[in-house]
Amino acid sequence: MLRTIRIILAVVSFIVMTALFVDFTGTAAAALSFLPKVQLVPALLALNFVAIAFVALLSLLFGRLYCSVICPLGIFQDAVSRIRVWLTPKRKRRRGLFGFAAANSMMRLAFLCVFVIAAILGLTGVLAASYAGLLEPYSIFGRFAGQWLVPGWRAVSVPIADLAASQEVYLFDGVPAPSAFSWVLASIAAAQILLVAGLAWWRGRIYCNSVCPVGTALGAISPHSLFKVTIDLDKCVSCGLCGRFCKSQCIDTKNHKIDYSRCVVCMDCMDHCSTHALGFRMTRRNVPARTEKAADTGRRAFIATAGLLGGALASHAADKVTDGGFAPLKHKEPHDNDIAPVPAGAISRKHFSEHCTACQLCVSECPSGVLKPSLSAEGFMQPRLVFTDGYCRPECTRCSEVCPAGAIKPIDAAEKSSIKIGTAVVDPDSCISAAYGQHCGNCARNCPAGAILMVKGENGNMRPTVSAEVCIGCGKCEYVCPVGTVTQLSATKAAIHVTGTEVHQKV
């Protein structure tokens, strides 16, 4: 019964996590955005003490149940292992698929130290926190969902939405169009998830118990948990089935001992024990004696974990090929900004870079599709605002609602409309009004802040001017600018674009 309950909770948790990425209505984000914020590393970066206390208390009570029920990458590995069991012939399956293996203590501590150093360097602004996120389990899952599941889902949903709209059925209205697919980012996401899947197929939870910094950190707490999977020596017949089916390879059947630093409380061992010698009990029985080496490893893991905590403190726009069915269009290219704008709520570019682990949940949740992963070395895989296919709507606060790491602080619509994230800059040499004397004014008419005015230039043509004190940097002017889209002009970029500010300001 306990194992069944654990599996049900894990399935629900995984579905919810996935729904947060693929749901375009915002319903999942409004009701379930708390779940990503319970992920340990994002909670540490966000200084979410409630979530940190919850994970610590959960581990002290039930061991590493977090890894089997809350962590989406852990649940994914369990699914891979289960598929392997299903595909294995029954005769070979009865002999077992895993078996006990000694802990890779030095490897675990080495990866944890690398992660802690990268996280601390990110917090001091030397290195983007996204590099630490390369090892963080939630971010690995998020990048795979954002780069593969979301584009695939939208590619299927948009034609359905368009077909429904042609029949005057608007239930699917609001599906964002698929954004430009980046093979570089998608390849990195695929390589990571395939590596984890391959390791899970080969040796179960080896990633969690040899590489994952969260697993190592929780492994320092779990041996002291109140409830544990224990062996009743009076009932045990030494058949060894529990050890042969343990995905964590942590049950030493010869010595009747369990390495609780690696046990993820999946309870598969209990399912295979015919004599009911294994149980999840509140007891101190059968706790393996701590050798001097084990005690030293535990102390080092605790110190490294404490170091991580200390470092943490330190419009649906479907693709078109013609303009109203007449003028052919080309895709507008983004400007290469020296200062790329970051979302309202990020406080500053420095704060955003130091806290974002590149899980890309905000990218998937953005209804306008203006948040896109960056390929720059400074903010590798972290989101940036690109206004070629949409703009940051002043009334939308979805990214601030779902960010689990505190990189984007929660704000409301009224607060967002007064935050300046950048300033629009005009290129008069490519503006069709200023340079060619055509009547345009798209940017001035569409500016939600009223920061753009059309004035007469020295050549007698009307040209846009931007009031920097009023402009909030939403990017609508860049989005609606026709320059860069019409094939008759050689320009490939909009005549007006937004350059970001290092520190956000109130207007």
Residue 420 φ then ψ, to 5°: -95, 110
pTM recorded for the entire structure? 0.83
Q: Which of 328-337, 415-424, 481-490 has the lowest mean pLDDT?
A: 328-337
Decide: 491 and 411 in contact? Cβ < 8 Å: no
Residue 285 has pLDDT above 60, yes or no: no
Residue 454 φ then ψ, to 5°: -95, 120
User: What pairing do the DSSP bridges indicate for beta strands 496-506 and 383-385?
Assistant: unpaired
Per-residue pLDDT at 200? 95
Query: Span 345-364, mean pLDDT?
Result: 93
Residue 288 has pLDDT above 80, yes or no: no
Residue 236 φ then ψ, to 5°: -70, 130
Q: How confident is the model at residue 470 (pLDDT cuts 50, 70, 90)?
A: very high
- Helix, coil or strand: residue 420: strand
Q: Report d(CA 214, CA 421) in Å as an integer.
A: 34
CA distances in angstroms from 45 to 3, 121, 283, 381, 483, listed in the order given: 32, 13, 34, 17, 41
Alpha helices in 70-104 (DSSP H): 72-87, 90-94
Residue 440 has pLDDT above 50, yes or no: yes
Q: Report d(CA 369, CA 392) in Å as an integer.
A: 9
Per-residue pLDDT at 312? 44
Alpha helices in 204-291 (DSSP H): 206-210, 213-219, 241-244, 268-272
Query: Span 401-423, mean pLDDT?
Result: 94
pLDDT in tens, 84-101: 988 988 877 777 788 899
Query: Span 233-240, mean pLDDT?
Result: 90
**Residue type (1 letter), 219:** G
CA distances in angstroms from 408 to 173, 342, 354, listed in the order given: 27, 9, 11
Q: How confident is the model at residue 60 (pLDDT cuts 50, 70, 90)?
A: very high
Q: How confident is the model at residue 407 (pLDDT cuts 50, 70, 90)?
A: very high
Per-residue pLDDT at 56? 95
- Residue with the bigger pLDDT between 166 and 363: it is 363
Per-residue pLDDT at 30? 78
Name, in order, each residue with C-beta under 8 angstroms of 252's C-beta and a sequence gap of 6 or more.
Answer: 100, 243, 258, 259
Average pLDDT taken over every residue of the chain: 85
- Residue with the bigger pLDDT between 364 and 303: it is 364
Query: Span 361-379, mean pLDDT?
Result: 89
Percentage of residues of the chain with pLDDT beyond 90:
57
pLDDT in tens, 112-163: 999 988 888 877 777 788 888 899 999 999 999 999 988 888 777 777 767 7
Q: Report d(CA 368, CA 359) in Å as an integer.
A: 18
Query: Span 201-206, mean pLDDT?
Result: 93
Q: Report d(CA 363, CA 179) in Å as an integer.
A: 10
First-to-last alpha carbon distance for the chain, in angstroms, is 58
Q: Report d(CA 103, CA 88) in Å as an integer.
A: 26
Residue 419 has pLDDT above 60, yes or no: yes
Per-residue pLDDT at 173? 58
Per-residue pLDDT at 324? 43
**Residue type (1 letter), 27:** T
Name, in order, each residue with C-beta under 8 angstroms of 415's C-beta and a sequence gap of 6 or more.
Answer: 344
CA distances in angstroms from 221 to 70, 211, 417, listed in the order given: 17, 17, 44
Residue among 330, 368, 340, 339 nearest 483 (CA): 330
Q: Report d(CA 104, CA 252) in Å as an integer.
A: 15
Residue 340 has pLDDT above 50, yes or no: yes
The structure tokens listed for 215 are: 């697993």
C-alpha 256: how far from chain center: 40
Percentage of residues of the chain with pLDDT beyond 70:
87
Q: How confident is the model at residue 500 (pLDDT cuts 50, 70, 90)?
A: very high
Question: What DSSP character marks residue 408?
Answer: S
Decide: 394 and 475 in contact? Cβ < 8 Å: no
- The CATH number of the structural domain formed by 320-506 is 3.30.70.20
- Residue with the bigger pLDDT between 470 and 321: it is 470
Residue 378 has pLDDT above 90, yes or no: no
Residue among 488, 497, 428, 486 nearest 460 (CA): 428
Beta-ladder partners of 327: 323
Per-residue pLDDT at 367? 87
Write down the domain spans for the chain.
Answer: 2-146+189-309, 320-506
Residue 190 has pLDDT above 90, yes or no: yes
Residue among 400, 413, 382 nearest 345 (CA): 400
Q: Report d(CA 454, CA 471) in Å as an integer.
A: 15
Name, in order, each residue with C-beta under 8 angstroms of 462's C-beta and a sequence gap of 6 or more.
Answer: 433, 434, 439, 441, 454, 455, 456
